[in-house]
């Protein structure tokens, strides 16, 4: 999905935005995205590009799945209305353009630790921090199968 397509799709709808790597999809991701979608009419997900993932220091084997595959899998979920890739470490540029009414992040973040929080709060948007599903993470999955 392009930014233009996302803007066209959101007309007269409450836009919820979240972002992440979504490398090895698991139940925690699915529940998180379902909850995010319940907060509005449309859920757009910003996805870190492969180079962006590497710059985040997630590990030498990450991402496991290339961007196109990660986007394809996430786009197939009922809760996700669109996925937009971004090259930066954070989605600030996307948020500046899309101006979602609600920005959702997982419980491993706080509002104070989000670089994009000032942007969202600056235009009156809401930030929702969602508790993580205990024991579910891509890193834990990769450790169980011996790749991390």
Burial of 32 (0-12, 13-18, 19+ CB in 10 A): buried
Q: Which two tokens stand for residue 79?
A: 């809760």
pLDDT score, position 58: 75
CB-based contacts of 131-135 (< 8 A; 24+ apart in sequence): 131/107, 132/28, 132/32, 132/106, 132/107, 132/108, 133/27, 133/28, 133/31, 133/32
SS3 86: strand
**Of 6-15, 88-97, 106-115, the least confident:** 106-115
- Report how far Cα 45 is from the mean position of its chain's Cα atoms: 5
Give 96's Cβ-side CA count (13 Å radius).
6
pLDDT digits (tens, 9 = 90+) for 62-87: 898 999 999 999 999 999 999 999 99
pLDDT score, position 140: 59
């Amino acid at each position: 999905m392009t930014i233009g397509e996302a803007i066209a799709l959101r007309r007269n709808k409450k836009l919820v935005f979240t972002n992440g790597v979504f490398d090895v999809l698991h139940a925690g991701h699915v529940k998180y995205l379902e909850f995010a979608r319940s907060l509005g009419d449309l859920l757009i997900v910003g996805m870190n590009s492969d180079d962006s993932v590497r710059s985040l220091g997630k590990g030498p084997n990450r991402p496991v799945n290339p961007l196109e595959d990660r986007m394809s899998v996430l786009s197939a979920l009922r809760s996700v209305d669109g996925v937009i890739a971004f090259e930066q470490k954070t989605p600030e540029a996307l948020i500046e353009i899309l101006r979602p009414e609600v920005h959702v992040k997982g419980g491993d973040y706080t509002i104070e630790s989000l670089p994009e929080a000032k942007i969202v709060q600056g235009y009156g948007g809401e930030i929702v921090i969602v508790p993580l599903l205990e024991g579910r993470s891509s890193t834990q999955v990769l450790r169980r199968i011996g790749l991390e």
